[in-house]
Amino acid sequence: MNNLEEIAWLVNRCADCELSRGRNKAVPGEGSPQADLMFIGEGPGYHEDRLGRPFVGPAGQFLDDLLMSIGLKRADVFIANMVKCRPPQNRDPLPAEMSACSKYLDRQIELIDPKLIITLGRFSLTRFFPGETITRARGKVREKEGRWIYPIMHPAAALHREENRSTIVSDFKEIPRILERLDRPSSPLMEDQPVEPQKATAPQAQQLSLFSS
Ligand code: SF4
């Protein structure tokens, strides 16, 4: 898979797991190939399956509002999901389905090489930090596999519980500050922290204490 277009071509024809049977359209992901920010959600829902685009339902409208709140638009970032086809009745994706689909997401991450990956919800969180809960992990920047990861709650959580909305909004507003810190390796506030992500050989994930809560 040499580029994002090739990945999308393959995804649209993929039958590597059971989710291919029920999909209307696969949802490869979309955005800038040079994005600094890459968002990873769970999987397509009803609206996404209809249009073949990620985050176009009510949760997607909230994501657009969140992006606008930090001066960005959809075309500035890249948005992808753990699985590219809609699970029936919006059930959770199964481990075997996420495993079958991971080759596409892994390659998208490699090709885009974002400065910061923002995981949306628990499934993309556990891709990087297995066994962790979103409640404990959200709002903390950490390094994993040579990349900086910032987990936040899934935008859909705000649709189900109003109290989640303010948490997501405040976590989102940290993103410009995080990017700024990552761009400024000599920041005195980070003098004891590694600025370049350590590679996978690091004994454990690094965490930027500045952003920890
Ligand atoms: S979810 Fe992923 S692995 Fe499964 S059929 Fe769709 S593209 Fe292929």
Is the residue at 91 inside a domain? no
In a domain, 27, yes or no: yes
Q: Whose CA is nearest to atom 4 of ligand 1?
A: 17
Q: What pTM did the predictor assign? A: 0.88
Domain with 130, as residue range(s), is 4-10+17-83+96-185+196-211
Within-domain flag for 203: yes
Tell me if 89 is assigned to some domain.
no
Asked if residue 44 belongs to a domain, the reply is: yes
CB-ligand 1 contact for 83 (6 Å cutoff): yes
Tally of domains in the chain: 1
Q: What is the pLDDT of residues 151-199, one digit of tens each?
A: 999 999 999 888 899 999 999 999 999 999 998 866 543 433 444 444 4
Could you report the per-residue pLDDT of 132-147, keeping only the tens digit for each? 999 999 999 999 989 9
Residue 45 in contact with residue 123, Cβ under 8 Å? no
Contact call for residues 149 and 120 (beta carbons, < 8 A): no
In a domain, 166, yes or no: yes
For residue 125 and ligand 1, the question of a CB distance below 6 A is answered with no
Residue 143 placed within a domain: yes
Region 54-65: what's the mean pLDDT? 96
Burial class (CB in 10 A: 0-12, 13-18, 19+), 16: middle
The CATH number of the domain holding residue 144 is 3.40.470.10
